[in-house]
Amino acid sequence: MPELPEMENYKRLLARTFVGKTITGTQVSREKSINIPPSQFTAAITGNRIQSIERRAKHLLFHIDHQKVMLLHLMLGGLIYYGTEEDKPNRTVQVQIDFGPHRLFFIGLRLGYLHLLSAADVQDKLIQLGPEPLGPYFTEQDFINAITAKKSRLKTTLVEQSFLSGIGNYYSDEICWHAGILPMRNCNDLSVEEKSKLYRSIRTVLSEALESGGYMEMPLYKGDTLTGGYDPIRKVYDRGGEPCFRCGRPIIKDEHSSRKLFYCTGCQT
């Protein structure tokens, strides 16, 4: 499932292209991906301009005219592609938004959705989300205070969206490896020094992943060489049995409470 770096990468690339552009039409082949009947959806957004694109946690918010927002969550397996009908990937498209000859294709939206809401409803919907880990208001002291109150496993805590926004299975393992801490440790067993390390690792890993284009498997548009650039340089996720880049021991693939875990017993304690 795309996490903060993937969605922020999409946001940055899309904002360059779409802000100010007018929606000329839509096609919906999976009604469940949207929240109102397709004809109403098309009528409500056609002729509107994209005013801005924002990311909050793993969501993208397409702000359009009349204080309306298209709220996107890709969930598991969802992705976006931008191009013309000719360079569209050979995948089933659930929702398509047209900007003249160019189109934004939403693919693999089985659990994911694109909902048209008022700006106020979006605020209500996202109110439970925790702080943005790359945001200016996420301080080390706030993080230490928040994690000190937790009794659950570190991995479970890092992926909890009301604790921190935008981290999932992939980056929680990368962060724990970077900090040299085992993901199945309990938060209340961590020392203050380990909590500080974790704070720095959260910021470092997410920033590096974002600058490298995140891990999405498909470019956003033809000629896009940035998107997906982090995947080949990831450190532990989905590297079970392969040697650790820091100490050489094989990476362990494990499972806890039906979540996959990847870590190194040589250099994570």
CB of 251 to Zn ion, least distance (A): 8
CB of 264 to Zn ion, least distance (A): 3
Please list every residue from 237 through 266 that binds Zn ion, using CB under 5 A. 244, 246-247, 264, 266
Active site residues: 2-3, 58, 259
Please give the residues from 159 up to 218 whose contact with Zn ion meets the rule CB under 5 A: none
In whole angstroms, the minimum distance from the beta carbon of 182 to Zn ion comes to 11
Nearest residue to Zn ion by CB is 244
Of residues 105 and 177, the one with the C-beta less far from Zn ion? 177
**Is 88 among the residues that bind Zn ion (CB under 5 A)?**
no
- Would you say 120 or 247 has its CB closer to Zn ion? 247
- How many residues bind Zn ion, per CB under 5 A? 6
DSSP state string for the chain: ---HHHHHHHHHHHHHHHTTPBP-EEEES-GGGSSS-HHHHHHHHTT-BEEEEEEETTEEEEEETTTEEEEEE-TTT-EEEEE-STT--SS-EEEEEEETTEEEEEE--SS-EEEEEEHHHHHHHHTT----TTSTT--HHHHHHHHHT--SBHHHHHT-TTTSSS--HHHHHHHHHHHT--TTSBGGG--HHHHHHHHHHHHHHHHHHHHTT-S-SS-SSTT--STTTTGGG-SSTT-TTSBPTTT-PBPEEEEETTEEEEE-TTT--
Nearer to Zn ion, 221 or 245 (CB): 245
Q: Which residues bind Zn ion (CB under 5 A)?
A: 244, 246-247, 264, 266-267
